[in-house]
Structure 1
Amino acid sequence: KTISQNQVLTNDLNYNSIIDSSGIYVDNYQFHPDKLFPKKEWKGNWIWLNKEDYPDHQETFSTWVNNDPKRNKKYRALFRKKFKIDDLPETAILNITADVSFRAYLNNKLVAVGPPNIGSDYEDHNLPAHWFFTSHNILNSLEIGENVLAVEVFSFDLVLSETTSGKGKFICDIDNSLIQTLVATDSTWKCRLDTSYAIIKNFFSFNSNEEPENWTNANFDDEDWSASSIIDKPIAGYLTQSKIPIPFRRKINPKTIILKSNNNDIVLSENELLTKTFFNSEIIFDYGKNGVGFYNFSIIANKNDTLKIIPIEKNRANRPFIFICKAGKNDFSIPYLNVFRYLKLEVSSEKGLNINSIDVEYSSYPTTYTGNFQCSDEFYTQLWDIIRNTTQMCMQSLYLDSPLHQEPIACTGDYLIESLSNYYAFGDRWLARQDLIKTAKMLEKNNYDMFHTSYSLLWIQWLADYYRYTADNELLKELVPHVNKLNELFRNYLDEKYLLTQAPDYMFMDWIKIEKFNAHHPPAVIGTGYLTAFYYKSLVESAKLNENIGNNNQKDENLSLAKKIKFAVNKYLWDEQKQLYKDGIPFLSKVAKHFWLHEDSNIVTYSPHVNTLAVLYDIAPKERQESMMNYVVTQEKIELQPYFTYYVLSAIEHISKFNTIGLSLLNKWKNGIDLETYTLKENWQNETEFGYVGDYSHAWGGSPLFFISSEILGIKPERPGYKVIRFTPFVNDKITWAKGIVPINGNNTVDVSWEKKEDVYFVYKIKIPESFSAILDTPKELQNYSLHINGIKQENDKKINLEKGNYLIEYNKN
C-alpha cells in the first residue's frame, strides 16, 4: 500500500523549537503513537561485524551485562551501504535500531540516534526481553542517484542507563510504503572494526587518528571493508516500536567565553575565539545556567594535539573527555548527553591549533510550555519555573533521576514526582506511559524483584497517578496483571502479624541518618513500618485499578489483605504513650543480612517517615492525624530531604492544611534550589551525614510545582482524565493573587486567575474548555461568604457544577 509522508508520523517529529526568556521548548505539536508508521514486518536481518574477520568482537557489554574488564574493550562497529534511486519516492522512512546504541548518517548528515532507553535495573544481569526501534523521516536527505547510509554502533554503554543483550547486532529498513522496502540490512553491507574510543588514565577518549577519514561520505572507498555477517537472533516478538517522540536539539550560545592566561581572565568574543591560535590554553564557556545536551567542535590541529573537555555543573567536573587530534581538520560530536553550566576546554598544542566552531545543542524530550504559573510571591513563581526547568532536563528518552547520574529505570520514586510536575507544566502522557511499560517488562524478567525494594511498590502508585491524569484504560489492561504479581511477591514478605518484616531489604528510604544507620538502606527495625505502609497503599490502589478493568475478585482480595495490614500496623506499631507509630520491632527479620540489609539493633525509633505515611494513607485514624503531622514538621532530629518531603506535603494536603503549613514548608526550597545553576539540588546539603555528594539537576525534589499548580491554582481531576475537573479556590493570608494555565487533556487547558482584597472579597476567574465540565468545591474558609457566579447569586453549597465557558466567581464576606 502506498502512503504519503504526511499520512504517518515518525518518532522524529519536525519540531519547531523556540528559545526565549522562559526557556527552550517546542511549539505545539501533535503526537500520538497510534499514528506512527505501522512497521509490522522486517525485510532486513540483524547484522554485525564479519565473524571470520572479527571473531573477538562479536559481543557487547554494559555495566552489569558481560562486564569483564579484562576481556571487554571499547569498540565501534561501522557499517556502510551504497544504493541508488532514480526518482525521489513519495515516502522514505528509516526504521532502525542497534545494540548497544547507534548514530546513523545519510549522505554524511546525521538522521537518527538511538535506540530510546530499553529499561534495566541496578545490578541487572538479566538480558532484556525486548528492544526498541524508531522510525525516522529521511525523505529530505535522499538524493537522486547514489546515496550512502553509514551507521556507527557502540558495543558498550555510554551511560549507566543503557543495557545490552550481550551480542552485537544492527538492523534497519528504509521503507517507501507499507509493503515496499528500498534498503534493508543484509550481508551486502560493508563493515569495519573501529577502536577510536578508549579509556586513557580513567578518562574516556577518542583518537581521531584511528578513525577512517570521511567514512560517512558517499565517495569514501570501502572496497577493503568486510561483508557483514547475518546474526541469527529473534526479530518478531523482540523488536518493539518506541511509542514516544525522540528528544529535540537546539543550539545554545554561551553567555561569556573566558581565556585563562597567567592567572588572568580574558573575555573573548566569538570572533576572537575563531581567529586566535591556541597553544597550551584553558578556555571556559559559561552558558548562564545548567543545561543538558551535546557538544561538538571543528578544529584545525596538528597530529596528537589534545583537547580535554570538562563539563561542570556548579563546581564539580563530570564526564571529562579527551580528544586526540589528527593532522588537519577534526570534526567531532560527543555521543552521550552531558549536563553543565560551564564547559572547560583544556588545549594542549605545541604548534598551536585553531577553532572553527564549538557548539552546544540543548536536548530534551519535546516539551511544550503549556502550563504556567505566577503569583504575588516572587519566590513561589521562581520556584515553579526552576522546577519546570529541572524536570525538563530530566526528560529524555526516559525520565532520568538526573542528567548527571543517568541511572537505569530503577528510581520510580523520582519518576512518580517528575511525572506529576510534567502533568502540570507540559501535559505530556507518552513518556510516563513508555517508562511504566518498560518497568513492567523489567520487573517481569527479574521475577518482580527490584533493586530498590520500596521503589517497586511506588511503580504501582506511579501507574495509579498516570491513570488519574489520563484515564488510559488500555494501559491498565496491559499492566494490571504485573501489578498483581508484584503484590503477590510482597505478600511473601509478610510475617504472621501481617507486617513486612521479611523483605530482602528496605531500600530506599531517605538520604539521612536514623540512629547510627544510613536510611538509604536501613535495617528491618527501621524499615518495617515504612515499607508496610507502602505495601498497604499498593494494595488499596491496586484494588481500584483491578476494579477499573473488571477484576472484582482481585479487588476484594486486595482490600481484605490491606485491612489486615492496617490492623497490624495499629496494633503492633502504635505507641499509645508517645502518640506516634514506631518504625519496627527489633529482631523479627529472619532474612540473612547482606550489604544492603544491616543487622537489627535493640532500638525503637519513631521516624517522621512512617508517621507521615500513616497519615497520608489513612492507616492512622482521622483524630490522630493533625497532631502527628505537627510532630513531623516540628521535630528537629531528622531533616527530611527534598524527595520525601513530597509525601509530607501530600499528607499535609490530605488533612487540608496545605494553605497554611504546606505553603510555609515550601520555604525549605530556598535551600533546595541553586541560582547559579537555576536547578534543583538533590539534597538540602551539598554533602549528607554519610558523605554522599548530590548533584545539581535532580528533579525528585520538584514536588512543589505539583502542589503550587494543583493547590494554589486549585485544579485537579475529579474523575480520571479530567472527565470532570475539580476547582477548589485557594485561600491564604500570604498570597494576594495568582494566575496560570493547567494542561488537562491533549491540547486542552484550564485558565485560572484569582485575587483577594483584604479578607472580605475574593474573585476567581476560570475558563473551562469545550467538552469539559467542572465542580466548584468551595473550601471551608469561604463557606460563610456570599457567592456570585457571573453576577448571579448562588447558594454557597459545598459543590456546584460548572459547564464549559468562562466564569467569574466572587465571594463576599457576609
Structure 2
Amino acid sequence: MRKSFLIASLFFISHAVSAQAVLKDLLTENLKNPICIDVRAPRFSWQLSEKDNKPVMQQAYEVQVDSVAFTGNNTNSLWSSGKIKSDQSVYIPYLGKPLLSGHRYFWRVRIWDIKGTCSGWSEQAFWKMGLISSSDWHAQWVGAASNDTVNAPAPLLRTNFILNKKVREATAYITAHGFYEAQLNGHKIGDAFLTPGWTSYNKRLQYQAYDVTALLAEGENAVGVTLGSGWYRSPLGPYNPRANFYGDRTALLMEIRITYTDGSEKIISTDRSWKSSTGALQFAEIYNGCIIDTRLEKSGWAKPDFDDHDWHAVRIMPYAKNTLIATYNEPVKQHEVFKPLKIITTPHGEKVIDFGQNLVGWVKVTLKGHRGDSVKIAHAEVLDKAGEFYTENLRAAKAENIYILKDTAKRTFEPQFSWQGFRYIKVSGIKGPLNPEDFTAVAIYSDMKATGSFSCSNPLLNQLQHNIQWGQKGNFLDVPTDCPQRDERLGWTGDAQVFSRTAAFNMDVHNFFSKWLKDVAADQYASGSIPYVIPDVFTNGNNEVGGSSGWGDVATIIPWNMYYAYGDKKILENQFQSMKAWVNYIQKQTRNGLWVTGNHFGDWLFYSVNNDRDGTSAITNKYLIAQCFYAYSTQILINSAKVLNKKAEEEYYTKLLLKIKQAFVNEYVTANGLISSDTQTAYVLALEFDMLPVKLRKQAAARLVKNIGLYQDHLTTGFLGTPYLCDALSKFGYADVAYKLLLQDTYPSWLYPIKQGATTIWERWDGIKTDGSFEESSMNSYNHYAYGAIGDWMYRYIAGITPAAPGYKKIIIKPVIGGGLSWAEGKYDCPYGNISTKWEITGKKLNMTVTIPQNTTADIFVPDFEGKNYKKYTIGAGTYHYSR
C-alpha cells in the first residue's frame, strides 16, 4: 500500500483538513438548463469537486431560485431552501411559490462541508417552464386538406408571418400525430429525429420545445412542417401488422412564442390560415422504408418567398390537448458515421457495400444521373454462406429506400421518417462501379450520455463489450426495442428488464426508462396484467395479451434497478401502484400459493436440440420460473414499500413472500434439495431470488456447477436464466466457473457469435451455425441485446464496481481476479461523478488504482495477485493506488 493512500485515508478518517469545494454539473430534473419543464416542483442536482484532490463531504446545502439572473452575492430570491442539514446533492425539490408556464427561472446552490466551511455560490443554472396545462396552448390541431393515408405522399404544412421588431427570445413548441420535421426559413428546427417519440399516444403524447431565436429574422418569416405516419399509424407488429393503430390521419400542433427586446410578445400558431400540399416524400413507413421523388419536390417551400397560392387550406382536427406532456427523455439523434469497409459483387452479380458494423440508422448517398433515374438501397445484417445478400430474417419488412432523380445535378439523399438495421446494403440503379465516397452510414439512437466503459487484456471480451454497447445503441430508439431490422421493432418487456442493469452502466438511461415506465403503467390492463410490448400495439386494451412471468415483471424490476442505479425515489413513487397491481394480479392467478396458470414464454430460447433422446435440452418448467419471479417481484415491492415508508404494504407483502417461497419448496424441491427441473436456469433463479432454505443453498450451487460440467462448461440458459447465471455462481464461491462460461467460445456461449464475426449481440446463441447456415428466418435477429445482460457482471465482478447504496452514495470496489486476465479497467459516471478502477498483475504483484467521486464513501477490497485474501479499506473521494 503506497504512501499516497495512507495520507488520503488518514485525511478522510480524521477530517483534519477542509478542502474548498467547487460545485459543478447543475441539473434540473436530470437535464442541463432545460427549456421545457412541466413538473410543478422540479428537482435539483449537483456534483462536488475540489482542486487539491482531497475528499469533500457535504454536510448542508442551500438552494436559491429566482425569476431573474443572480448578480454577485444578491440574496433576494423567489425561493430559498435555507440552510438544510443534509449530505444529499441529488434530486432536491423546489418548494416555493407556484411556477408559471413559459417562464424562465434561475437557480444556484452552495454547500457546507463537514468542517462547516461554505463553498460559496455555484455558477447559476436555469430552466424554463413548458406549457403546464392544456389551456396554455393557443395552437389548434391541423391536418392536410388532401387524402392522407399511410401510402399517400407526406403532407407539407406551412405559413408565413411578419416580425416587426427585434427578437429577444423565441421558443417553438411542437408535437404531432405521426412524425414531424419542422423548418424555419428553410432551416431544420433542432437536431432530433423521429419526434415526438413513441408513447401510448391516446394517454400520453409528448411535445418538444426548441430555442429558435437564431432562426428568426425581422420582417418576413416562414415555417414549414413535414408529417409522416410514424408509430402513430404505420402498420405495426409481426405477422398481422395493424395500420392506423392510434388514428388514421396525421396532424400538427405547433406554436412559436416570441418575446421582443421591448418585452412585448407574439405567438405564431397552427390555425386555419395554414396551407397544405405534398412534395418529394411520396411514401414513408417504419418497416418498408421510403420513396423520395425529387421530380415532385417544391424547392424553398419552407422559406418566406415561396409562392403557395395553389396550396390548400388545412383542416382543423378534433384532437385533444389534455394528453400533452413535456419531453424529458433524450431525443433520437445522429451519432457515429461509417464509410464502406469493402464493396462486394455477390455471386449473383449484385452490388453490395459492407460497413463493417451492424448498426441502426440509414445511409446517406450522393447521386448523379438523369431525370427519372431510380436508385434503390436495400438493407441486410448478414450475407449467407455463399456470399449472397440475405434478407429472409427481415420477414415482411422491405427495408428499402428509393430515390428518383429530377435532373443531372449531384445531390445527397437520406431517408425521412424511416430507418433500418443493417451492416450491408445492396445498391441497384447505379450504372458502373460504386464509389465508396458516395456512401456514408449514419447511426441513430436516443441521445443518452455514455456513462460506462470496460476493457481488459482479453480482446474477445473487449469485442463482447463493444457488441453489448452497440446492441444497446441500436435498440434504445426512444423505446427499448427487441430488434431494429425486421417487421417488429417493439418494446418487448422481457428483453428490457433483463438488460436494464447493464444498460444503466453503459449509458445514462434514467430519463429514458422513467419515460417508458410511465407507459408501462399507462398501458397496464385493469386486471394488473402487463402487456408483452410497451407501448401496447397488440390489444389496445380491448383484450389482454400479456401476463407472462419475466416479461410482466418489468413493472417491478426496472423501477427498482433504476432506483438503485440513480438513487431517485421518484421512480418508485411514480411506479408503485403499477408494481403493486402486478403483484396483486399474480396473487389472483395462484392456486394454493402457486402460480400455475396463464401463458408464459419461460426461459425463452434456452439451449435445445432437435432430437432430444438423451435429454440434453435444458427445459425448465415455466411455472417454476413463474413462481421464482413472483417471489422476486414481491421482494422488490417490499423493498420499495420500505423506501417509501408504506408500512402496511411492507407488512402485508412480507407475509405473502413467506407463503410464496414455502409453496415453491413444497412443490418443486425434494428433501435433499433436487429441483424438479434439474437445469441451470432452475438453480440460478432459486439461488438468485432466495427461494431455498439456507441449508439447501450450498448444495444447489454445487448442483448448478455439476450441470454446467455435464455440458462441457457451456451455458444452457435462455433469456431469463442468463442474466443471473454468472452472478449466482460468483455469490456462492464459483467465480472460476463463471469465468469459464464467459470465456467459452464454442456454441452456446457469449463468445461464439464473436468468433463468427458478430458486431452486436444476437437473438439466438447460434444465429449463424458452425456450418455457416442460419437459424430459422422467422426469428433470427443479429441485433438483439438481451444476452448482453452479462455486461452487468463484467462491470461488477471483473472491474469490481458495485453500488452499496442507491445512486452510488456508497460504493463497493471488489474486483474478482480470474479467467487468465492480466488486467482490467472499468469506468462509470455515477450521479456524484466518475468512478474508475484498474487492476494489473505483473509477475506476482497486483497493482490497483481506484478513483472515488466527491460526497461519497467507498469500501475497497484489494485482492492479492492470485485473487484471494482481500484487504478492506474504507475511503472517501480521491484517487488511490494499491500494491500487493
Q: What TM-score do the two structures reach when normalised by structure 1?
A: 0.77
Confirm or deny: 8 A CA contact 1:285 1:343 kept in the other structure: yes
One-letter amino acid matched to 1:220: F
- DSSP-derived class of the 2:169 partner: coil
Q: Find the counterpart in structure 1 of residue 700 from structure 2.
A: 625
Q: Find the counterpart in structure 1 of residue 555 from structure 2.
A: 459
1:420 and 2:501 matched: yes
1:89 and 2:167 matched: yes
Q: Find the counterpart in structure 1 of residue 877 from structure 2.
A: 804
Q: Find the counterpart in structure 1 of residue 312 from structure 2.
A: 226
Q: Distance in 2 between matches of 1:327 and 1:365?
A: 36
1:400-799 pair list within 5 angstroms: 400-405=481-486, 407=488, 410-443=491-524, 448-451=529-532, 452=546, 453-454=548-549, 455-495=551-591, 497-503=592-598, 505-512=599-606, 526-576=621-671, 579-582=673-676, 606-621=678-693, 622-636=697-711, 639-641=716-718, 644-667=721-744, 668-673=749-754, 676-686=757-767, 692-732=778-818, 734-745=820-831, 748-757=833-842, 761-777=845-861, 785=869
One-letter amino acid matched to 1:533: C
Confirm or deny: 8 A CA contact 1:641 1:683 kept in the other structure: no
* 1:159 CA drift (Å): 7.7
Question: CA offsets, 1:783-808, max 9 Å, x none?
Answer: 985x8xxxxxxxx5xx5421222323
Q: Distance in 1 between matches of 2:514 and 2:487?
A: 19
Structure 1, 79-88 or 669-678: larger mean CA deviation: 669-678
Confirm or deny: 8 A CA contact 2:480 2:491 kept in the other structure: no
Q: CA 1:299–1:528 in structure 2 vs 1: closer, same or farther (change >3 Å)?
A: same
Structure 2: unaligned runs, 5 residues or longer: 1-31, 38-89, 93-124, 238-243, 384-389, 533-545, 769-773
Q: 1:258 aligns with which of 340, 343, 350?
A: 343
- DSSP-derived class of the 2:444 partner: strand
* 1:573 CA drift (Å): 1.4
- DSSP-derived class of the 2:477 partner: coil
Q: Distance in 1 between matches of 2:203 and 2:646?
A: 27
Q: Distance in 2 between matches of 1:446 and 1:165?
A: 26
Confirm or deny: 8 A CA contact 2:602 2:625 kept in the other structure: no
Q: Find the counterpart in structure 1 of residue 423 from structure 2.
A: 341
Q: CA 1:198–1:249 in structure 2 vs 1: closer, same or farther (change >3 Å)?
A: closer
Q: Find the counterpart in structure 2 of residue 80 from structure 1.
A: 158
Q: Distance in 1 between matches of 2:172 and 2:439?
A: 29
Confirm or deny: 8 A CA contact 1:672 1:683 kept in the other structure: no
Q: CA 1:656–1:677 in structure 2 vs 1: closer, same or farther (change >3 Å)?
A: same
- DSSP-derived class of the 1:196 partner: strand
Q: CA 1:740–1:356 in structure 2 vs 1: closer, same or farther (change >3 Å)?
A: closer
Confirm or deny: 8 A CA contact 2:846 2:865 kept in the other structure: no
One-letter amino acid matched to 1:486: W
One-letter amino acid matched to 1:628: R
Confirm or deny: 8 A CA contact 1:81 1:190 kept in the other structure: yes
One-letter amino acid matched to 1:543: I
- DSSP-derived class of the 2:479 partner: coil
Q: CA 1:641–1:83 in structure 2 vs 1: closer, same or farther (change >3 Å)?
A: same
* 1:309 CA drift (Å): 0.7
Structure 1: unaligned runs, 5 residues or longer: 1-5, 12-29, 61-71, 121-126, 265-281, 583-604, 788-795
Q: Find the counterpart in structure 2 of residue 239 from structure 1.
A: 324
One-letter amino acid matched to 2:428: E
One-letter amino acid matched to 2:851: K
Q: 1:111 aligns with which of 186, 189, 201?
A: 189
Structure 1, 73-82 or 708-717: larger mean CA deviation: 73-82
Question: CA offsets, 1:356-391, max 9 Å, x none?
Answer: 955443222234444323323232233223322332
Confirm or deny: 8 A CA contact 1:611 1:632 kept in the other structure: no
One-letter amino acid matched to 1:673: I
1:43 and 2:137 matched: yes
* 1:234 CA drift (Å): 1.9
Q: Find the counterpart in structure 2 of residue 184 from structure 1.
A: 269
Q: CA 1:547–1:49 in structure 2 vs 1: closer, same or farther (change >3 Å)?
A: same
Identity of aligned residues (%): 18
Q: CA 1:552–1:262 in structure 2 vs 1: closer, same or farther (change >3 Å)?
A: closer
Q: Distance in 2 between matches of 1:118 and 1:261?
A: 38
Q: 1:169 aligns with which of 231, 251, 258?
A: 251
Question: CA offsets, 1:307-336, max 9 Å, x none?
Answer: 111122222345123334445557643122
Q: Find the counterpart in structure 2 of residue 597 from structure 1.
A: none
One-letter amino acid matched to 1:291: L
* 1:484 CA drift (Å): 0.7
* 1:102 CA drift (Å): 1.5
Q: CA 1:571–1:74 in structure 2 vs 1: closer, same or farther (change >3 Å)?
A: farther
Q: CA 1:414–1:99 in structure 2 vs 1: closer, same or farther (change >3 Å)?
A: same
Q: Distance in 1 between matches of 2:805 and 2:506?
A: 20
* 1:205 CA drift (Å): 3.8
Structure 1, 686-695 or 652-661: larger mean CA deviation: 686-695
Question: CA offsets, 1:463-484, max 9 Å, x none?
Answer: 1111111111112111101111
Q: Distance in 1 between matches of 2:455 and 2:159?
A: 54
Question: CA offsets, 1:256-314, max 9 Å, x none?
Answer: 563859988xxxxxxxxxxxxxxxxx643332222322334454444432211112222
Confirm or deny: 8 A CA contact 2:766 2:775 kept in the other structure: no
Q: Distance in 1 between matches of 2:577 and 2:362?
A: 40
Q: CA 1:179–1:726 in structure 2 vs 1: closer, same or farther (change >3 Å)?
A: farther
- DSSP-derived class of the 1:456 partner: coil
Q: Find the counterpart in structure 1 of residue 46 from structure 2.
A: none
Question: CA offsets, 1:528-560, max 9 Å, x none?
Answer: 111111111000011101111111211222221
One-letter amino acid matched to 2:185: N
One-letter amino acid matched to 1:803: G
The total of aligned residue pairs comes to 704
Q: Distance in 2 between matches of 1:202 and 1:188?
A: 34
Q: Distance in 2 between matches of 1:414 and 1:482?
A: 19
Q: Distance in 1 between matches of 2:824 and 2:864?
A: 20
Question: CA offsets, 1:574-605, max 9 Å, x none?
Answer: 2457x4323xxxxxxxxxxxxxxxxxxxxxx5
One-letter amino acid matched to 2:782: Y
Q: CA 1:370–1:530 in structure 2 vs 1: closer, same or farther (change >3 Å)?
A: closer
1:36-75 pair list within 5 angstroms: 37-41=129-133, 42-49=136-143, 54=146, 57=148, 73-75=151-153
For the aligned residues, what is the CA RMSD? Answer: 3.9
Q: 2:377 aligns with which of 306, 309, 320?
A: 309
Q: CA 1:114–1:320 in structure 2 vs 1: closer, same or farther (change >3 Å)?
A: closer
Q: Distance in 2 between matches of 1:366 and 1:775?
A: 33
One-letter amino acid matched to 1:230: I
Q: Distance in 1 between matches of 2:333 and 2:588?
A: 45
- DSSP-derived class of the 2:480 partner: coil
Question: CA offsets, 1:495-529, max 9 Å, x none?
Answer: 1x2111122x11253124769899xxx9x993111
